[in-house]
Structure 1
Amino acid sequence: MARARESLIDLDATPYYHCINRCIRRSYLCGDDKYSGNNFDHRRTWLVDRIKFLSTVFSIDIAAYAIMSNHYHLVLKVNREEALNLTNDEVIERWYQLYHGCILVDRYRSGEKLNAAYMFRINEIVNEWRIRLYDISWFMRSLNEFIARKANKEDNCTGKFWEGRFKSQALLDESAILSCMMYVDLNPIRAKMVDSLLDSDFTSIQERIKQYQSFKKQSNKKQSNKKKKPNETSGFTVLQQPKLLLEFGCSIDKNTIPFTLFDYLELADFSSRLIVPNKRGSVLKTTPKILAVLNIEVDSWLNTIQHFRRHYANFAGSKSSLMKCAHSHNHSWYKGSA
């Protein structure tokens, strides 16, 4: 039985959510349509651009994404604190980047002097917009409606473009966040579309790897220049992560993903080699330390990143995390806690 969205998204339990939506039409979201002969790869760019734009408007960060041929995956982190700290003017400016607003707020923006009753009503409206700026349902609505309208216009048709409302999974602890992000980033490899992370187009892992390679190239260049001219001082190169993706950091920084970028890239490479049969034997001797820290066995890890959505329903995490969340919602258990 379907559940109300408000019962599936509990920001007091976790700010991290895995969202999925699937295209209903034979013509595909992206890729090649074997029936019409048309190619829709350009729609992947539509999605990536829209996702990143919305992350600048909403107080919702993008931790991971993967755009597949007929569906897409997102791992989102809701930043409720940021939205609550926005001024009324900042909320209005953000909202007007997506919607027309209302006449009363238009009068306020134009500088018109309004009485106390009008200002009270404006505050009510702005507070409603503020709540929507950290609402995943509004984020997904702004994404899906935009893509559906654009695809319908291109296809010269009307009607539903998406299978239904998006599906979501709450990621209750660090192990769930890590395994879900890896599940999303490895989608093209698991689907046997590519054999390497760097070839996984329209994924967050490819974007992070390219940024990291650029950083290494700059570091090596500065190091080389320093050897040639030892008396010259060169500035320290700081690792720059992709601007519109949520950064990796550490557990104590709540505004970052609770792992280091290097550990995640090491684990991604290890995991991709486990999935691709001809690479499997070359990595079994070197298990990433992050799995040891989280006390996750290799076989269990491989099973989870291949079948994440089968293991869990609307909530994902360790047994203790699932039971705690279930009890707080007046349920006996959630799938995956057995």
Structure 2
Amino acid sequence: MTDISDTLASPPNPTETEPPPAGPGAPATDLEQALFEVKRVIVGQDRLVERLFTALLADGHCLLEGVPGVAKTLAAQTLATVVGGTFARIQFTPDLVPSDIVGTRIYRASKEDFDVELGPVMANLVLADEINRAPAKVQSALLEAMAERQVSIGGRSYRVPDPFLVLATQNPIESEGVYQLPEAQRDRFLMKITVDYPSDVDELAILYRMSADRPTARAVLDPRRLRALQDRASQVFVHHALAEYVVRLVLASRDPVRFGVGDIAPLLAYGASPRATLGLVSAARAQALLRGRDYVLPEDIRDLAADVMAHRLVLSFDAVADGVSPDSVVRRLVEAVPPPQIAPAQDASVPDLVVA
């Protein structure tokens, strides 16, 4: 039987077409420059910026939720500028149809035949602005692109560019003309990030920075270098004890009584899916690389648990009626499930982990 640590820790076979980064300092330098460029424009949202880069390195889609005016769209546009590649912004409205996103067939009288015009979703980074305003047919079309990395037009499939990332925003305070995202589509987002108001100090800095000559970001990466960084993130070491810890966290959302948190069992109708297990590991790897490490720590998993798991939980009717938030349920699970403890290691570059 293969040890799970062998599967998680073994790097993929190198290919001739995609060489690895030049050296151990190359990813750190690229990421530091990219973070600097984004933070020149986005003030006071350090957590948002870090989570965006984590989703980018983990090759996972990201959902941003916050009230209007907290720089959700600006953050996505700035990230697209910094990472290079192609970018498309789609403003979702109730009258949108699937062909507005994926494209359509157009009859050419001169050729007496149909041509395929691909839609704006065929870009490296797609900003789906106010995604919850679109009806179910549009959501299904976008879901195919997110899940299968392809679109279907006229019985033929067309691959989206690689890398491909969907950044979606939604407004939580409006109810008119808004469609709740289906559970299947929420599950396809690696993370859901709640964007809060900035502090008073940050808001004053925003006033000074954005009221005169607004800063603009420059391109630091390109699709090839971004793909190399994503490959590097997938090679970050994950100890088998941490893999077991992730599994226990996700299983606790499905069977709280088994893990000693029976008090939250009435709050949950359905727990997190196995996609949450995969997503939490990939996000932890990306965050470790972003913070200059080639191994994952328990803090990475605990830090990202709410962002990866909360939007995948389905709360019971009583929990919704009482105003219980999925984030609070995940925080309770993180408190209840003990993480592995770090023990002294012979090799200082990778700490040993033991289960508490």
Structure number, greater radius of gyration: 1
TM-score (norm 1): 0.28
TM-score (norm 2): 0.27
Structure number with higher strand proportion: 2
